[in-house]
């Protein structure tokens, strides 16, 4: 592993097609016309073409400006605009128009709000459920500083899956995550699991971690009741972000997938282009 020497040339197994197609254009126009934000665009997701052509998207609520400045993330950082009270209904109607069977909702961190946006989160989930009673949902939530009352609001809204990402292994967390803490994220997942939620988490690799650290992270997640895990290759959004230390081979990703399943995960999505909401519809049912 080349620590301290960033890798910039993509290896041969990275083949990302330019997004195109009639369905992709329809979803893109719908998102733009409704003033919605998606992590597909804000996070520069490499699967945007595949997902949007399948008529699915991961929606990002509470604006597109984050109050945290994680070293891996391409979402804008700064002072967010005021919360848009019409966003939940606009999102719910768009999901209906798209005729989705499953949707993923995430958000920027809103540490500027008194409750970190947890009430708005709960209102959004309930509005989507009311307008789309047959749509299943995954909520990819921030840590809400680990405050139980905030997490309870998400639990009370009862999405089918509640996801919260560790993002990386323990040793690298202080370097790349802003304000978030490894053990606090584990505590959030533990709290959600103990109250009956189906939980999920994901990490990026290629940041300088070892294989043993990835496997230790699996053990940490299993210990707090998490049974769904995603593992994908980190790609630096710009040269100003944390550098890629290594491109992990497809064979190594497959090893991680097999180890995770052997250890007791129900689902492990592990390959270079996997992102936390990739094929999320498969993770709803036990």
Residue 66 in contact with residue 77, Cβ under 8 Å? yes
Specify the pLDDT at position 247.
94
List the one residue out of 80, 86, 165, 91 whose CA is nearest residue 125: 91
Cα angle: 139, vertex 141, 144; to 5 degrees = 145
- Give the separation between CA 175 and CA 187, rounded to whole angstroms: 20
Give the phi and the psi of residue 175 in degrees, each rounded to 5: -80, -35
Beta strand segments in the chain, E: 37-38, 58-61, 65-66, 76-77, 102-107, 136-140, 161-163, 199-205, 228-233, 267-270
- Give the separation between CA 260 and CA 275, rounded to whole angstroms: 17
- Give the separation between CA 134 and CA 71, rounded to whole angstroms: 38
Structure tokens at 280: 């999320």
Please state, in angstroms and as integers, the Cα–Cα distance from residue 274 to each residue in 92, 95, 257, following that order.
26, 23, 12
CATH superfamily of this structure's domain 22-283: Aldolase class I (3.20.20.70)
- Give the separation between CA 147 and CA 179, rounded to whole angstroms: 14
Give the phi and the psi of residue 214 in degrees, each rounded to 5: -60, -45
Specify the pLDDT at position 18.
60
Specify the pLDDT at position 2.
45
Specify the pLDDT at position 252.
97
Burial-class residue 147 by CB neighbours within 10 Å (0-12, 13-18, 19+): middle
Specify the pLDDT at position 56.
64
For the chain, give every domain's residue range: 22-283
Query: Position of tokens 């921030």?
Result: 142
Residues in contact with 213: Cβ distance below 8 Å, sequence separation at least 6, in sequence order: 169, 170, 171
Written as tens digits, the pLDDT of the chain (286 aa) is 444 455 567 787 776 666 556 666 666 666 666 666 665 555 556 666 566 556 566 888 998 899 999 999 888 899 999 999 999 999 999 888 877 888 899 999 999 999 999 999 999 999 999 999 999 999 999 999 999 999 999 999 999 999 999 999 999 999 999 999 999 999 999 999 999 999 999 999 999 999 999 999 999 999 999 999 999 999 988 888 999 999 999 999 999 999 999 999 999 999 998 888 776 677 787 5
Read off the pTM.
Answer: 0.88
């Amino acid at each position: 592993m080349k620590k301290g020497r960033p890798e910039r040339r993509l290896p041969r197994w990275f083949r990302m097609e330019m997004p195109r197609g009639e369905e992709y254009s329809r979803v893109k126009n719908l998102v733009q016309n409704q003033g919605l934000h998606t992590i597909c665009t804000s996070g520069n997701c490499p699967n945007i073409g595949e997902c949007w052509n399948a008529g699915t998207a991961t929606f990002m609520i509470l604006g597109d400006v984050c109050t945290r400045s994680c070293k891996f993330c391409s979402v804008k950082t700064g002072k967010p605009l005021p919360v848009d009270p019409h966003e939940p209904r606009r999102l719910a109607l768009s999901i209906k128009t798209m005729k989705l069977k499953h949707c993923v909702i995430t958000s920027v961190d809103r540490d500027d709000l008194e409750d970190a946006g947890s009430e708005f989160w709960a209102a959004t989930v309930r509005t989507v459920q009311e307008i789309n009673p047959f749509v299943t949902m995954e909520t990819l939530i921030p840590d809400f500083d680990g405050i139980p009352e905030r997490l309870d609001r998400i639990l009370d809204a009862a999405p089918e899956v509640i996801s919260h990402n560790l993002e990386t292994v323990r040793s690298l967390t202080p370097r790349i995550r802003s304000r978030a803490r490894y053990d606090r994220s584990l505590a959030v997942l533990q709290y959600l699991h103990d109250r009956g939620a189906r939980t999920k988490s994901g990490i990026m690799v290629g940041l300088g971690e070892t294989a043993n650290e990835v496997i230790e992270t699996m053990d940490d997640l299993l210990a707090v009741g998490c049974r769904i895990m995603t593992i994908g290759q980190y790609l630096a959004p710009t040269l100003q972000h944390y550098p890629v230390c290594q491109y992990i081979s497809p064979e190594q990703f497959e090893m991680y997938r097999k180890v995770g399943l052997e250890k007791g995960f129900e689902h492990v999505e592990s390959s270079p282009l996997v992102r936390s909401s990739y094929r999320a519809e498969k993770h709803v049912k036990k």
